[in-house]
Structure 1
Amino acid sequence: MKKFCALSLQILLVYIVVAEDEPRVQFDWNACVELAIYNNRDLKAARFDIAASEENVISARSGLLPQAKLSGSVRRSDGTDEERYGASISASQLIYDGGRTWDEWQKRKIEAATSSTDYQIESANVRYKLRMAYVNLLKAQKMADIWQTILKRRKESRRLVNLRYQAGREHRGALLTAEAREMEAEVEVQQAARSMELAKSELLNIIGIVSGIKNFSLKNEDFSLSAEKTAEPPFADIATQTPSLRKQYDLKKIAEINLQQAKRSRLPSVQLSAETGISGVWPPEEESWSVGIGLSLPIFEGWKKTADIRSAEAELTATVERYQREL
């Protein structure tokens, strides 16, 4: 964030110092990448998804930890002026639930990894779009410069033809041809300017800046490939580590856990609980405490659990098919 703020401040200072009728700032490729990382809405949404999934991991893990609760009350009954006060603290600990809470924790961790994979996929898509928009703007700038040069030369050519025509050394057809070529170049200059503005808008849209920057240009950079060759890993190793394949594998693991949870929902759950407190008229002095073990066993829920199992099985089959397709 500090790096982004410093970069934004530098760009703002350039805006203030440079004259209004000149390009306010020149972007290079690295500056566009940095701005897109912090401003592109798809990347920002993916980062928030990662943050949410990490919090879901903490939330799921809390089910395995002891739970404590503090409560208080004030009661007054009909027919009496006495007010009874009470305060208590209770604690509970899950002993056994068939592993459903543990499975939920593991599933949330896989979902967090999937969110990171989604960010990598989105980052690759944004880089591709940004590169295409960057190249298109470079081409548009180059074409605009070329047509400006052509227009300048055709203006000079028309001026020379006109001088020869005035001197009687050139016929009228040559003059009209020179004027037509000059007008053609003027039209091409206008079209090149519009194409450049469209390319700028596309680049800014991908970067994530929708307002505030219009008058800018790109630096001419050398993007020629290096002659040095580096050893490349085997294609099979690259293919098995692609983000899309990792995502499908994680989704398959999540579907397996969902099926396991659906089957384990028929198992009983055991919970240990304890409570202590005081009650009575003010000041309350009646002490009480309790310790117990609770057992819960589902018997019949209208075939809900059977339907959940079948749904999880179908979901697992679908994710396996998608995973095999990616392979």
Structure 2
Amino acid sequence: MKRAIVFSVLLFMVLLPAMLNAEETVSWSECVREARASHPDLASSRALLRQAEADRSLAGSTLFPSLGVTGSYLTGGTVGSGASGAPSLFSYSMTARQLLYDGRKSAKLRDASAESVKARESSLAGVSADVRFVLRSAFTELLKAQEMVALSSDIALRRKNNARLIALRYRAGREHIGSLRRAEADLAAAEFEVAQASRGLVLARSVLSSALGRRERSPLRVEGSFTARVPGVATAPDFQAIARRNPLVVELDAVRNAAGYSLAAAESAFSPELYLRSSAGRSDISDWPPENVSLQAGVELVVPIYEGGAGRARVAGARAELTGKEAAVESGLLQVLDMLEARWKQFVDARERLTVQKKYLDAAVERSSIADAQYSNGLISFDDWVIIEDNLVSSKKDFLNAGGDLWIAEAQWIQAKGGGLDEVMD
């Protein structure tokens, strides 16, 4: 029994490092869910949205009646010789106040706050688009790093076999020392690329952890394949319509609308304000509860006459702000249009480049297979064979890079459209 316990403890101690360092495999959908829930940029943007919603409620509260309850207890006396105490006064009352008319200033301020909420909603959508792009880029780089490690290992194994073959031919007198040294150099370069790819894998894991909103680094592994999706025919979209829906343009438009309402509210500041006021209460001297009832009702009129030019200054400032916001909308729209067309071009170029690189890879594989047989039979020289081998290695790397570039270009296009973490892949 003791031996079994000791064996179990030893086995656990042996397996514990492997358990702690076990890779965590995540899919793209799992990454999206985690980033949506944990990324600090999204949390910050959501907090700003809640603040804007609170400001909207505050601005709209002036249109509703206000109620207040007051109570007081007063007592006093006479100062001097023979001073006697004065009776105490008990009172309480409830007061109601309702805005009837202010030239729609309060309503315009409420509408301006509502547009500010729309701007914050669009800002949140823009942050989501940025987070998605960073996440997709990190996901792509990790997948690319994973495949680069496997590809580099395959190339190193192939270089090792080639070096052995050249060594045998050299000892047999069928190759010179220069060919052997070249094969050994190719092997050394391949082994270096394996180590380099392994370091790149560690870095890519750390970048993806940050993109997910994780503080701690973990050995992540992603699911996917660059060859899983075949590029289709690309049709140019309606850039104007997409630009109008872009979160940046929508946000700028909402800010412009809010400035328009603020200008209208500033102009309404010259209008009189009319309130309905009523109160009910009780007061009495020395007795509690008070018995004397007091009821009041009436209207309150406030007419602005002179503020030293402050009203006109506010109107001028609001009008200038509106002019600036209108110009910002046009500038933002032009920038988004340029970005959309550039990102679309890059996306289409990347799709077509992947197709071309696949053809080059197929051709390189076929040529390498033929060249191996020819070199073994002495039909081609070492120099010709090495060129074909190098071309195969380059074609494999170019195809892997083209697949990663396509994913990045697609992520840039989706970001340009304003697609966030809820965007579905085409």
TM-score range, shorter chain: 0.7 to 0.9
Pairing 1:37-186 to 2, within 5 Å after superposition: 37-79=36-78, 80=85, 82-153=87-158, 181-186=186-191
Aligned position for 1:259: 263
Q: CA RMSD in A?
A: 3.2
Q: Check 1:308–1:137 CA distance in 2 against 1; reply closer, same or farther (3 A cut).
A: same
**TM-score where L is the length of structure 1:** 0.81
Computing the radius of gyration over CA atoms, which structure comes out larger, 1 or 2? 2
Letter in 1 for 2:220: F
Aligned position for 1:20: 20
Give the paired residue count. 308
Runs (5+) with no aligned partner, structure 1 = 1-15
SS at 1:92's partner residue? strand
In structure 2, C-alpha distance between the alignment counterparts of 1:159 and 1:22, rounded to whole Å: 35
Pairing 1:247-326 to 2, within 5 Å after superposition: 247-280=251-284, 281-285=286-290, 286-325=292-331, 326=333
CA contact (8 A) 2:277 2:299 kept: yes
Per-residue deviation at 1:103?
A: 0.5
In structure 2, C-alpha distance between the alignment counterparts of 1:282 and 1:303, rounded to whole Å: 52
Runs (5+) with no aligned partner, structure 2 = 1-15, 79-84, 335-426
Q: Deviations over 1:100-141 (max 9, x none)?
A: 111011111111122211122222222222222211111111
Aligned position for 2:207: 202
In structure 2, C-alpha distance between the alignment counterparts of 1:71 and 1:265, rounded to whole Å: 30
Q: Deviations over 1:249-296 (max 9, x none)?
A: 222211111111111111111111111112232413232222221111
SS at 1:19's partner residue? helix
Aligned position for 1:192: 197
In structure 1, C-alpha distance between the alignment counterparts of 2:187 and 2:233, rounded to whole Å: 47
Q: Check 1:72–1:232 CA distance in 2 against 1; reply closer, same or farther (3 A cut).
A: farther
Q: Deviations over 1:269-324 (max 9, x none)?
A: 11111111122324132322222211112222222112111111111111111223
Pairing 1:209-224 to 2, within 5 Å after superposition: 209-211=214-216, 213-221=217-225, 223-224=228-229
**TM-score where L is the length of structure 2:** 0.64
Name the one with the larger strand percent: 1
CA contact (8 A) 1:95 1:271 kept: yes
Deviates more, 1:242-251 or 1:174-183: 174-183
Letter in 2 for 1:247: E
Aligned position for 2:407: none
Per-residue deviation at 1:167?
A: 11
Q: Check 1:75–1:148 CA distance in 2 against 1; reply closer, same or farther (3 A cut).
A: farther
SS at 2:93's partner residue? strand
CA contact (8 A) 1:84 1:284 kept: no
In structure 2, C-alpha distance between the alignment counterparts of 1:40 and 1:139, rounded to whole Å: 23
